[in-house]
Amino acid sequence: MNEKLDQQFFDVNFDLRDNKYEPIKTIGNGAYGVVCLAHHRKTGTNVAIKKIVNVFEHFLIGMRTYREIKILRHLVNHENIITIRDVFLNSNNSKDVYIVFDYMDTDLKRVLESNQTLTNDHIKYFTYQILNGLAFIHQTGIIHRDLKPSNILVSQTCSIKIADFGMARQYRDHDQTQYVVTRWYRAPEVILGYTEYSQAIDLWSVGCILAEMFGRKPIFSGTNTIAQIQLIFIILGTPTKAYLQSLHSDCFRRLILSVGNRQPANFKALYPNATDDGIDLLRQLLVIDPEQRISTNAALQHSFVNEFVVKLDDGDECAMDTDTDKFDFGFESEKWTLEQLQSAIHDEINRFQVRSSKSNTNGDDELTSNNDKLATHDAPIESHHQVVIVDSSPSEASSTATKLEIDTTRLAEKKRKHRRRKHGLHHHHHSKRLTSTMCTDEKASSGDTNDDDINNPS
């Protein structure tokens, strides 16, 4: 995003005086907007509200907003994907859109930048949840395209939700842009100009995140695209002749060969505190050839994370979601004018207002029930790990640490839910929305930006 848009979309105030939400403080930046912590005046429930200003003045901003609302409404109520609770316009004008999300205490980037110790139990549990949410996303035919630690939200009970779907697109086998994914987490096939990339690019990003959890710093932190390519092949070694011959560009081929004949780095030496199965999963995620890279379903079967996969009864198959609807990306091919896009966004907003009106008529509220509510501590505990998560910058870490637990009692509750589903006690529509538990650029000094997103919206 350029400097002009930075100022326009991030220098904003939250004016909610006549609204049901009361802002508390600004907590961060999302895609094309500022996020504040707020609470619902009636219920006292904490929420995160993203304000996107002047949505209808720029087609790209409007389309990103529309896309994110549509996708998250489709992915509703998965425990590892952020949920939209409400959408509304500024009461004083019709240009600013507010999107209300579940409130999460921090994000993985801030955790990794703190002095918090991450045990292998943390890393296993975080990795499982990222893969679990990603598996559901991929089942719907979606590629997230911007997985990175700042888009992985973390609660005080160590639950994780994937956020920020502004870059998400439909999986197709041709004509996809390379201007996706923050540079440090961008798969080599994207950097090297392929337009046939698949959902495997998200798995590469997961591998980068896993390495960062092991080492507390990005594994591929190139200061520009060329440096990024070189760093990937310095660490992962010289690719095969077949791979080099498959490249579309002689320039990229020469660039890769310029790093010399290298053997893959010893991940165990790089990450001495990582377990052997953690290193093995990392190797299968950070594979140069996307055809050989592990899939989400296979990754969830890996010994590093499969202790968290819900199984029903002895001898039973693993609980799976197999009836998930594909997301309809038909609107992407529409030749909408800015006015038509504005009308489509208004339609989406009206859906939430109708739902809110029905809830109020029934004496209920959309924020009083939490589909991701943890089981109580008197429920059977399969395992408990004492942990500490710091929601602060490194300089504040020592004074704001909070002692928490990885509460895996949620697995027992998920097991009960899936058993009820198996015996037909849940309506089919709701079964598509329950937890999926599978068995089977740039700024020269930072990779925390997306390249040329303004000029390459597809």
Q: pLDDT digit string (tens) for 69-87?
A: 988 888 887 999 999 999 9
Sign of CA dihedral 182, 187, 188, 189: negative
> What are the helix (H) ranges across 329-373?
338-361
Q: Extract the tokens encoding 294.
A: 């592990």
Instruction: Report which secondary-structure segment, H or E, holds 25.
Output: strand 21-30
Is 146 a member of any domain?
no
| Rounded Cα distance, 130 and 152, in Å | 8
Contact 207, 286 (CB under 8 A): yes
Specify the pLDDT at position 10: 43
Q: Extract the tokens encoding 10.
A: 């991030």
Specify the pLDDT at position 96: 86
- DSSP letters of 246-282? H-S-HHHHHHHHTT-S-PPP-HHHH-TTS-HHHHHHH
146 is catalytic: yes
Is 93 a member of any domain?
yes
| Rounded Cα distance, 365 and 100, in Å | 14
Is 301 a member of any domain?
no
pLDDT at 382 over 60: no
Contact 34, 51 (CB under 8 A): yes
Specify the pLDDT at position 162: 96
Write the pLDDT tens digit of every residue in 445-455. 445 555 443 33
Percentage of the residues of the chain whose pLDDT score is greater than 70: 66
Distances (CA, A) of 257 to 240, 245, 283, 325, 394: 11, 12, 22, 44, 39
Specify the pLDDT at position 424: 55
Confidence bin at 11 (pLDDT 50/70/90): very low
Percentage of the residues of the chain whose pLDDT score is greater than 90: 33
Bridge partner residues of 28 (DSSP): 35
Is 140 a member of any domain?
no
Q: Extract the tokens encoding 271.
A: 């990450």
> What are the helix (H) ranges across 149-191?
188-191
Confidence bin at 165 (pLDDT 50/70/90): confident
Rounded to the nearest 10 degrees, the angle between the axes of helix 276-285 and helix 120-139 is 30
| Rounded Cα distance, 75 and 68, in Å | 10
- The angle subtended at Cα 13 by Cα 8 and Cα 18, nearest 5°, is 130
**Through-space distance between the first and last CA atoms of the chain, rounded to whole angstroms:** 15
Residues whose CB falls within 8 Å of the CB of residue 414, separated by 6 or more in sequence, listed in order = 310, 319, 435, 437
Half-sphere exposure of 396 (CA within 13 A, CB side): 9
Q: Is 302 left (phi over 0), alpha (psi -120 to 50) or beta?
A: beta
Question: Which is more confidently placed, 174 or 206?
Answer: 206
By mean pLDDT, which of 21-35, 43-57, 366-380 is the weakest? Answer: 366-380
pLDDT at 3 over 70: no
| Rounded Cα distance, 431 and 426, in Å | 7
Write the pLDDT tens digit of every residue in 303-361. 999 988 876 444 444 544 445 688 777 787 788 888 999 899 899 888 887 766 555 55
Instruction: Report which secondary-structure segment, H or E, holds 40.
Output: strand 33-40
Domain, as residue range, for 42: 3-104+327-361
Considering its fold, how many domains does the chain have in total?
Answer: 1
Catalytic member of 146, 164, 321, 453:
146
- DSSP letters of 61-115? HHHHHHHHHHHHHHTTT-TTB--EEEEEE-TT-SS-EEEEEE--SEEHHHHHHSS
Mean pLDDT computed over every residue of the chain: 75
According to DSSP, residue 288 is labeled S
Is 98 a member of any domain?
yes
Distances (CA, A) of 282 to 123, 158, 231, 237, 292: 12, 21, 17, 15, 13
Distances (CA, A) of 10 to 1, 39, 54, 335, 418: 11, 21, 11, 28, 43
Specify the pLDDT at position 207: 98
Is 87 a member of any domain?
yes
pTM: 0.78
Is 119 a member of any domain?
no
Which one, of 263, 258, 261, 306, lies nearest residue 281 by Cα? 306
Average pLDDT over residues 258-282: 94
* Amino acid type, 89: L
3-state helix, strand, coil split of the chain in percent (to 5) is 40, 15, 45
| Rounded Cα distance, 89 and 27, in Å | 20
51 is in an annotated binding site: yes
The CATH number assigned to the domain holding 30 equals 3.30.200.20
Is 33 a member of any domain?
yes
